[in-house]
Amino acid sequence: MKAVQFTEHGGTEVIEYGDFPDPEPERDEVLVDVKAGALNHLDVWTRRGLPGITLDMPHIPGSDGAGEVVDVGEDVTRFEPGDRVALSAGVSCGKCEFCRHGEHSMCVNYHIIGEHVRGVHSELAAVPEDNLLSVPEGVSWETAAAAPLVFQTAWRMLITRADVTSGEHVLVLGASGGVGHAAVQIADYAGATVYATGSSEAKLEHARELGADHVIDYEAEDFASQIRELTGGRGVDVVVDHIGKATWQDSLKSLAKGGRIVTCGATTGGQPETDINRIFWNQLSVIGSTMASLGEADDVMELVWDGTFEPAIREVLPMSETARAHEMLENREGFGKVVVKPDSEL
């Protein structure tokens, strides 16, 4: 088969698209004919060499993908050849105290397909049965590939961890990115007044179309000051911040008393200066979040499959141009997800 791969960490020049041995499914695995994959900033960090992660080389990236089942291991019961499936990339042990209570994303042995182990940006992929979602007929391969990671992540952040309720005010930073554009839709669905930041009028217009009530060009305006002005000095109840170092202090300034900041990542750095005085005096909550647990994944993906939520797709490229796809993420080009498809599918 052909696969996106790299044998060392580095810039986009390390990415290759070439021959790789066909995978053979284990007893609990499903062999998938991959029709489309999608990129996340996680792919960029993994390629660069995310600190603390050791990979078997060559590494195949990709934590989002969808395709058709071509074979199943002897212990597989949920799928059979011909089924349409999408990847849910978080792998949990199913046995620890967190898994026993349904908190699979807090598993002590939690890892992510495409980050810690080989991913699915290839013509074929062998995936554990528990990491596949059924995709209804009528849902495009591009949608099925682009939605799972970001919508699961944003759903857990807003609905489970931050517990957003109707009537609250929610600020979503980086609304043009994968998690950001999903968070705008989910906050709007929850009945919140949604504030979104972006770096161009085109990106802000997309955010409006997805449900943002107020938009802020963070390159032209100080978003914390704008939030204070838009809320009459009160601030917002929740800030969704997956950016980190560059925005952290202003995110705290944007919160009302008793507000919550929820984070799933730090694309500009994970060790920002922080205002502890503001946190305790305003009784703020700092909430960490990762990908969804199994039930959460089912809940949010049903809303994708029925069209309530829609992943924005900025570009569809052949897998042989995955280096270009990485550049689009690094340069913040466009709005939404970048999809890659095996060259044989184009």
pLDDT at 100: 93
| Domain ranges across the chain | 2-147+311-345, 151-288
For the structural domain made of 2-147+311-345, what CATH number should be given? 3.90.180.10
281 token code pair: 């005096």
| Domain 151-288 listed as CATH 3.40.50.720 | yes
| CA distance readout (Å), 286 to 7, 162, 235, 256 | 37, 9, 16, 13
Contact status, residue 179 vs residue 185, Cβ threshold 8 Å: no
Local confidence pLDDT in tens for the 346 residues of the chain:
999 999 999 999 999 999 999 999 999 999 999 999 999 999 999 999 987 777 889 999 999 999 999 999 999 999 999 999 999 999 999 999 999 999 989 999 999 999 989 999 999 999 999 999 999 999 999 999 999 999 999 999 999 999 999 999 999 999 999 999 999 999 999 999 999 999 999 999 999 999 999 999 998 999 999 999 999 999 999 999 999 999 999 999 999 999 999 999 998 889 999 999 999 999 999 999 999 988 899 999 999 999 999 999 999 999 999 999 999 999 989 899 999 999 999 8
65 forms bridges with which residues in the sheet? 37
Residues 85, 71: Cα–Cα separation, whole Å: 12
Residue spans of beta strands (DSSP E) within 155-254: 169-172, 193-198, 214-217, 236-240
132 token code pair: 């596949």
pLDDT at 54: 78
pLDDT at 235: 98
Quote the Cα angle for 66-309-335, to 5°: 80
CA atoms within 13 A on the CB side of 15: 21
φ, ψ (nearest 5 deg) of residue 199: -110, 5
Residues 19, 124: Cα–Cα separation, whole Å: 12
pTM for the structure as a whole: 0.95
φ, ψ (nearest 5 deg) of residue 50: -50, 125
Residues 66, 272: Cα–Cα separation, whole Å: 36
pLDDT at 205: 95
